[in-house]
């Protein structure tokens, strides 16, 4: 394994990389369809194993001790995280892993630059440029993901953090980073300014995510996902390694696709999501609905009667379901209703929760069969024929203002037509507005009843009532 580069060995390693790249493509293809998803993930994992093992045979690697330490430590942490993470905490987990990938790419770029500064390497301008890109994108992916993690974990406020002149300052910092990177490429190795650029990259990531609110996290996470791929791809340019380039590009593309889907589900452009600090102000009252009207609440007993004698019920879960970890209680209630002959479905909005597909994962954990989870366009015509819609911790995605109130910040966003059901029961902790900070006229409708309290407790109460024979 040691010594001079052998051409045969190199060919073998590169062939293994080709196999790995093909396995990644097959894996991603599998991951985009329900029947093949698990196998797809396995193929991709095998591809990764092939790439790692092949790399270990590279002539460049002469010392294995530290590599082993790194691999064992990383694998240990990875297994621990994957085994113990709660399904409700999955958005944070994805953010964390994204960040780690970005950081690794930035570190590799730094290592290459260090060699340049130490005089063991004299990279061309091309390579130096990709080193800078890898550092910048990897660094901002890391710090941006950490801020996203902190927001999701509620270590810090999930509301947008803004200050006057924010966009101007951000533009200056970003422009400065580009200039500094360009200058670093032009001049001889300069380690101190390279360190400055690394810090600036981290600052950009922080400035990028700070003004984005919790409700827009699905977009941010998808975008950071894309960035982590592009950072890996740039590292491939640095090391002239095709498997890195191909995989990075694939992940970059998949992240962009998800980002687009999320933006479309909110009827907002990417720039609007990133720069409008959506939800920073709580609008007092907007438009029709609330004027002089009061919400009507009901007791769990009344709600149980409504549900028990309904023919059809649609559950509409939102982020509140994840917060109170009530997914198992929903499933229990749904099964109880089904055993009484009630037809039960779940309506899933694409951006319900804090990451793409958040609700699907939560309900799957609670053993809800996935054909019961219906996507927005399919379920919307069914609300009219539904006796009871039960909104659990969802808010903006069922706000009818999106359909008609042009003054509403969410006007034009496709919503679930829960308000069209004969009766709507809203499970909600209090009358606080949702994450986007907008009053919801659904709560004031004549056919809406509020069931106040923690979602899990309310659902448990409903189950008890139904069991005690309504």
Partner 1 sequence: MGEALLMSLYVFVLAIFVGFEVIGKVPQMLHTPLMSGSNAISGITIVGALIVAGRVESTLSIALGVFAIVLATVNVVGGFLVTDRMLQMFRRRPEEQR
SS3 (DSSP) at 373: strand
Task: Please identify, using beta-carbon distances, which residue of 105 and 448 lies nearer to partner 1.
Answer: 105
> Is 396 an annotated catalytic residue?
yes
Annotated active-site residue in 216, 396, 405, 419: 396
Burial 90-125 (b: 16+ CB within 10 A, else e): bbbbbbbbbbbbbbbbbbbbbebbeebeeeeeebee
Choose the stretch contacting partner 1; rule: CB under 8 A; options: 36-44, 151-159, 275-283, 384-392.
36-44
Binding part of the chain for partner 1, among 94-102, 295-303, 390-398, 429-437 by CB under 8 A, reads 94-102
Q: Give the binding range for partner 1 (CB under 8 A) out of 164-172, 180-188, 318-326, 353-361.
A: 353-361
Closest Cα to residue 105, out of 7, 231, 18, 2? Answer: 231
Q: Can you tell me the distance from the alpha carbon of 355 to that of 359, in angstroms, rounded to the nearest whole number? A: 9
Nearest-angstrom CA–CA distance, 447 and 422: 7
Nearer to partner 1, 28 or 207 (CB): 28
How many residues form the binding site for partner 1 (CB under 8 A)? 120
Does 19 bind partner 1 (CB under 8 A)? Our answer is: no
Within 103-142, the residues that bind partner 1 by CB under 8 A are 103-105, 107-108, 110-112, 114-115, 118, 120, 124, 126-127, 130
| Rounded Cα distance, 224 and 287, in Å | 36
Give the nearer residue to partner 1 in terms of CB position, either 270 or 361.
361
Beta bridge partners of 375: 348
Q: What is the footprint of partner 1 within residues 207-246 (CB under 8 A)?
A: 221-222, 225, 228-229, 231-233, 235-246
Taking CB under 8 A as the rule, does residue 86 contact partner 1? no
Question: What's the CA gap between 195 and 197, in Å, rounded?
Answer: 5
Shortest Å distance, C-beta 267 to partner 1: 17
Q: Which is nearer to partner 1, 210 or 258 (CB)?
A: 258
Residue 224, φ and ψ in degrees, nearest 5: -65, -35
By beta-carbon proximity to partner 1, the closer residue of 245 and 451 is: 245
Which parts of 359-388 interact with partner 1 (CB under 8 A)? 360-361, 364-365, 367-371, 373, 375
CB of 19 to partner 1, least distance (A): 13
State the minimum distance, in angstroms, from the CB of residue 377 to partner 1. Answer: 10
180 binds partner 1, rule: CB under 8 A: no
Percent helix, strand and coil across the chain, each to the nearest 5: 65, 5, 30
Phi, psi of 124 (to 5 degrees): -70, 170
User: How many Å apart are CA 321 and CA 316, to the nearest integer?
Assistant: 10
Dist CA 52 CA 421 (whole Å): 54
Give, in degrees to the nearest 5, the angle at Cα 382 between 363 and 262.
Answer: 55
CB closer to partner 1 out of 32 and 269: 32
User: Among the candidate windows 48-56, 154-162, 180-188, 448-456, which touches partner 1 by CB under 8 A?
Assistant: 48-56
Site for partner 1 in 277-316 (CB under 8 A): none
Instruction: For partner 1, give the closer residue by CB, 405 or 417.
Output: 417
Q: Which stretch binds partner 1 (CB under 8 A): 76-84, 157-165, 385-393, 401-409?
A: 76-84
Q: Using CB under 8 A, which residues numbered 240 to 279 contact partner 1?
A: 240-258, 261
The one-character DSSP state at 5 is P
Task: Find out whether 421 and 310 touch, Cβ atoms under 8 Å.
Answer: no
Helix (H, G, I), strand (E, B) or coil at 422: coil
The answer to whether 447 and 347 have CB atoms below 8 angstroms apart is no
In the complex, what is the shortest distance from the CB of residue 58 to partner 1, in angstroms, rounded to a whole number?
6
Q: Does 179 bind partner 1 (CB under 8 A)?
A: no
Looking at the annotation, which residues are catalytic? Answer: 396
């Amino acid at each position: 394994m040691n010594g001079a580069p052998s051409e045969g060995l190199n060919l073998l390693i590169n062939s293994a990389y080709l196999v790995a790249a093909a396995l990644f493509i097959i894996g991603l293809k599998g991951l985009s369809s329900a029947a093949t998803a698990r196998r797809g993930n396995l193929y991709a994992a095998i591809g990764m194993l092939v790439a790692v093992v092949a790399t270990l045979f590279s002539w460049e690697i002469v010392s294995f001790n530290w590599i082993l330490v790194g691999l064992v430590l990383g694998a240990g942490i990875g297994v621990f995280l994957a085994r113990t993470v709660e399904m409700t905490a999955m958005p944070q987990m994805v953010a964390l892993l994204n960040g780690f990938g970005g950081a690794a790419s930035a570190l590799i770029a730094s290592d290459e630059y260090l060699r340049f500064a130490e005089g063991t390497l004299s990279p061309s301008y091309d390579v130096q440029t990709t080193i800078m890109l890898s550092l910048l994108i990897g660094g901002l992916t890391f710090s941006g993901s950490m801020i996203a993690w902190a927001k999701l974990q509620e270590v810090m406020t999930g509301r947008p953090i803004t200050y006057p002149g924010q966009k101007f300052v951000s533009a200056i910092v970003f422009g400065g980073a580009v200039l500094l990177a360009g200058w670093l490429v032009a001049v001889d190795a300069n380690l101190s300014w390279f360190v400055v650029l690394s810090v600036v990259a981290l600052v950009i990531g922080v400035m990028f995510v700070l003004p984005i609110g919790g409700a827009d996290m699905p977009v941010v996470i998808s975008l950071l996902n894309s960035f982590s791929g592009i950072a890996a791809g740039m590292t491939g340019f640095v090391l002239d390694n095709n498997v890195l380039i191909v995989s990075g590009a694939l992940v970059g593309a998949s992240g962009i696709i998800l980002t687009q889907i999320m933006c479309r589900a909110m009827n907002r452009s990417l720039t609007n999501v990133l720069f409008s600090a959506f939800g920073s102000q709580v609008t007092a009252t907007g438009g029709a609905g609330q004027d002089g009207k009061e919400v009507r609440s009901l007791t769990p007993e009344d709600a149980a009667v409504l549900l028990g004698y309904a023919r059809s019920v649609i559950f509409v879960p939102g982020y509140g379901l994840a917060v109170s970890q009530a997914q198992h209680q929903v499933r229990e209630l749904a099964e109880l209703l089904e055993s009484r002959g009630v037809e039960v479905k779940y309506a899933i909005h694409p951006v319900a929760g804090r990451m793409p597909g958040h609700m699907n994962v939560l309900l799957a954990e609670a053993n809800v069969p996935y054909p019961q989870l219906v996507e927005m366009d399919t379920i919307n015509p069914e609300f009219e024929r539904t006796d009871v819609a039960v909104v659990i911790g969802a808010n903006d995605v069922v706000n009818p203002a999106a359909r008609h109130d042009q003054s509403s910040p969410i006007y034009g966003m496709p919503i679930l037509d829960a308000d069209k059901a004969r009766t709507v029961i809203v499970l909600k902790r209090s009358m606080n507005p949702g994450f986007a900070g907008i009053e919801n006229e659904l709560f004031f409708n004549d056919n809406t009843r509020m069931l106040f309290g923690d979602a899990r407790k309310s659902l448990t109460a409903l189950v008890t009532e139904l069991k005690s024979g309504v």
